[in-house]
Structure 1
Amino acid sequence: MSRRNIFELLTEKYDVVKEMNKIRRIFNKLRFSTIQFSSEKLTLEELFDFYALPSWKQRGTVFSYKEIKAKLHLPQSFSALKIEEILLTLEYYINVLFAVNAKCFNIKNPLALPSYECRMLVSNIDILLEHLNYKPLEFPKEELVILVPKNPAATAVAEISSEEIAFAILKYNHASLKGQLEEKRKLLVSIANEYEPLLEKPVEGFKDYFAKTTGLLNNLNIRHNNKAGKNKNEIVAKMSPEELESWYDELYQLLLFCVLCKDNYERKGKVSELLKNLKTELKAK
């Protein structure tokens, strides 16, 4: 077995909870010098309170960052993978950084330049969001940043899947997998195996999508070797890695679509039943 280099070892396992706590520590550790408070350094949140909050369009009626954190019920630390808590906290951090950057680092109010830790903090937040399949969406006029799924369909399917398959679904979208054909193939097999019973019982009106999804799984060098041997297909055999990866990505989206079709079909049945009962109740009156 070949020796793994240092970079492969560093990126082998990413612990979301551990990395979130690291981000929290760096966020709380940052200090800035100002002309007004030359004798002491302010934390990022104190800087936010003094220079950004009074004119921040999203302030509402709050007087301090402490009041914002209390309203949001942000945890002191993270011990479990609670995605909603992590995203809410990251959204708070990003908005504080956004407001401070917009309102403090200018000629009228010169401050010490952001430290290397500040730049690393932003980078670590970006990396964590990448692993969670989220991205920041800025609204400059409203002075607001919100976090949204990079792929809403992937997030929706992940939320109704087992933990192992949810990880596979979200991992497929990760930027580090671009060009990693074999890794993507393995993830597609895992996802397809999980939802095999669903693919075998297509939703009425969407049978063609289910059939095409199964067809690609069986003929695109995923479940079977379609580049050589008895299952060889000349078209697939001649595909470049880039073209094959493009078709893998298309198949990934089809798989998500089929799962969401089934989920929404069941939801439609529940809604129909409720509406039927509501109409019956109205007639009875």
Structure 2
Amino acid sequence: MGRQNFFEKLESKINLQKEYEKIDSLVLQPHWYGNASIEDDIERYFKNWKYKANYLSFNEIREQLGFTYTFDGIVAKSYGCINNINDFFDYCEMIVNMIYTIPEGKRLFHEERINELQRLINYDLNYFNHEIRKVGDKYLIIQKDASVSEVVDIVEDSLAKIILEYNHYVLKGDLETKKNILVKIANALEPKRSEIKGINNQLYKDYFYLINNMEIRHNNSDSSDTSNYNAYFDKLTLKEKEEWYDEIYQMGLLIFLLLENKERSTKVANIKNLQSDAKK
């Protein structure tokens, strides 16, 4: 293997523990001695956070998730351990959401540091093909997917939240939650069945066959129910079932895009007709 140049070395494998400590140092350290840090202001305004549940402080959440810190003299130092990629995602998601507990006017005081930590988080997430997306009033880390980005821009907000949720990193392996999301997507497409059939009949048949035979709308694993039992699906491993669920999800996204394109094609056809009539 040839010698790496400067830029290739800069893009070497990310050390998640080091990245966590770098980002957390921006949160913990004040601009200069005696001033509030980002951490201080998160703690100050934590009481106003609508999702605080039974937590009394931000520090309590840090302790619960293992992202603690201690003091070396007057300097705060991160004390948590990042053991895997999900730990790092948990930390980043926590920090991004907590920053927005600080009122906008107060955030301006920390603007330079907030911009820097967001730059680091965005770079690291992009390295792992993930990104931060705002879903309602929450900020979630989801896997990057061009189809998802296109679809959430053309559907109503409530459906966009559902579609984005499917790609959230914590849902990997959670078949029950994924199934519930697929049911909601199928329900949104149900009234458009005739349109879908007219656009792509094979996709229409395949999608609704899978929805009805892969334990999404019906119990297809009960051998005593001869009308719904699917022996093929029943014998799949959990990993194989999840792969099918992900395929069905992608098919649903494709249908939304095709429906949007039909509307666009109709508009173009109308323009052509108007132009043709004008020439007569």
**1:248 maps to what in 2?**
245
1:129 partner letter: E
Amino-acid identity (%): 29
Q: Deviations over 1:186-232 (max 9, x none)?
A: 00001111121113432535111011000000000111111114122
Asked if the contact 1:185–1:222 (Cα under 8 Å) also holds between the matched residues in 2, the reply is yes
Matched, 1:165 2:129: no
Instruction: Tell me the C-alpha RMSD between the 2 structures.
Output: 3.8
Matched, 1:237 2:199: no
Structure 2, gaps ≥5 residues long: 1-60, 66-89, 136-142
**2:110 maps to what in 1?**
29
**2:179 maps to what in 1?**
185
Equivalent residue of 1:130, what SS?
strand
Tell me how far apart the structure 2 counterparts of residues 172 and 23 of structure 1 sit (CA, whole Å).
Answer: 30
**1:224 maps to what in 2?**
218
Equivalent residue of 1:202, what SS?
helix
Aligned 1:187-202 pairs, distance under 5 A: 187-202=181-196
Q: CA deviation at 1:23?
A: 11
Distance change >3 Å, CA 29–CA 232, structure 1 → 2: same
Tell me how far apart the structure 2 counterparts of residues 195 and 15 of structure 1 sit (CA, whole Å).
Answer: 36
Distance change >3 Å, CA 194–CA 23, structure 1 → 2: same
Distance change >3 Å, CA 150–CA 156, structure 1 → 2: same
Tell me how far apart the structure 1 counterparts of residues 231 and 103 of structure 2 sit (CA, whole Å).
Answer: 50
Q: CA deviation at 1:235?
A: 0.9
Q: CA deviation at 1:17?
A: 7.2
Equivalent residue of 1:221, what SS?
coil
Q: Deviations over 1:6-40 (max 9, x none)?
A: 45xxx7x989876446598778538xxxxxxxxxx
Tell me how far apart the structure 1 counterparts of residues 95 and 207 of structure 2 sit (CA, whole Å).
Answer: 33
Structure 1, gaps ≥5 residues long: 31-42, 45-89, 98-117, 134-148
Matched, 1:207 2:201: yes
> Does 20-29 or 153-162 show the bigger shift?
20-29
Tell me how far apart the structure 1 counterparts of residues 133 and 259 of structure 2 sit (CA, whole Å).
Answer: 26
Asked if the contact 2:122–2:132 (Cα under 8 Å) also holds between the matched residues in 1, the reply is no
Q: Which has the higher contact order (CA 8 A, sep 6+)?
A: 1
2:264 partner letter: R
Q: CA deviation at 1:236?
A: 0.7
**2:58 maps to what in 1?**
none
Aligned 1:1-285 pairs, distance under 5 A: 6-7=64-65, 19-20=99-100, 29=110, 93=115, 97=116, 118=117, 122-123=120-121, 129-132=131-134, 150-228=144-222, 229-230=224-225, 231-281=228-278, 283=279
**1:54 maps to what in 2?**
none
Q: Deviations over 1:109-148 (max 9, x none)?
A: xxxxxxxxx4x87338867933449xxxxxxxxxxxxxxx
Distance change >3 Å, CA 126–CA 18, structure 1 → 2: farther
TM-score, normalised via structure 2 length:
0.53
Distance change >3 Å, CA 130–CA 181, structure 1 → 2: farther
Q: Deviations over 1:18-74 (max 9, x none)?
A: 6446598778538xxxxxxxxxxxx56xxxxxxxxxxxxxxxxxxxxxxxxxxxxxx
Distance change >3 Å, CA 224–CA 277, structure 1 → 2: same
Tell me how far apart the structure 1 counterparts of residues 199 and 184 of structure 2 sit (CA, whole Å).
Answer: 26
